[in-house]
Amino acid sequence: MHIIIVLLLVVIDQISKYFVLELLKFSNSMILIDNFLKLNYVENRGAAFGILQNQQLFFIIITSVVIGAVVIYRIKVNGFNRVANFSLDLIIAGALGNLVDRLRFNYVVDFIDVNFWGFYDFPVFNFADICVVVGTLLLAVLIILDRYEIDKI
């Protein structure tokens, strides 16, 4: 079941990036909510917030090692509850989605551009990034509340 969830999330990520490449790569951004949300094609050759630009081999190796470690740990421990497993599925799917981009394009396709009415222009991100962030926050809450094991929910 976990493989299906991960694959579904990766497919959603890749389909969204395909449409962005087709619609926005050679055109202007698409405003969805004036002064707040637009779709804007960006080639991110770094990590979150554009740090460590042009270190693709480093990101490919680190991402592969982390995904492998999480998968192996899940198989060996096998004591996480459904919510904790889902949070790990989100993290793995997000990492895989961006890894696919790095392997295909040598950059990550970002396109969700949020600007808080001129107060703060958030860095452009994608669906895979949302998966990683939501999965990480959910897992952090479960760990803080000590609710990640099977018998604790």
Q: How confident is the model at residue 26 (pLDDT cuts 50, 70, 90)?
A: confident
Least Cα distance to 96 among 82, 78, 84, 108 occurs for: 108
Task: Give pTM, 2 decimals.
Answer: 0.89
Identify whether 121 is a catalytic site residue: no
pLDDT grade for 2, boundaries at 50, 70 and 90:
confident
Q: Which amino acid is at 7?
A: L
User: Residue 151: what pLDDT?
Assistant: 67
Please report, in angstroms and rounded to a whole number, the separation of the first and last CA atoms in the chain: 20
Quick check: helix, strand or coil at residue 121? strand
**Among 101, 129, 146, 151, which one carries the catalytic annotation?**
129
Q: Are 87 and 95 in contact (CB under 8 A)?
A: no
Q: Of 13, 101, 110, 113, which is the active-site residue?
A: 110
Q: What are phi and psi of 110, to 5 degrees?
A: -115, 150
* Torsional sign, CA 80, 84, 85, 91: negative
Q: Is 129 a catalytic residue?
A: yes
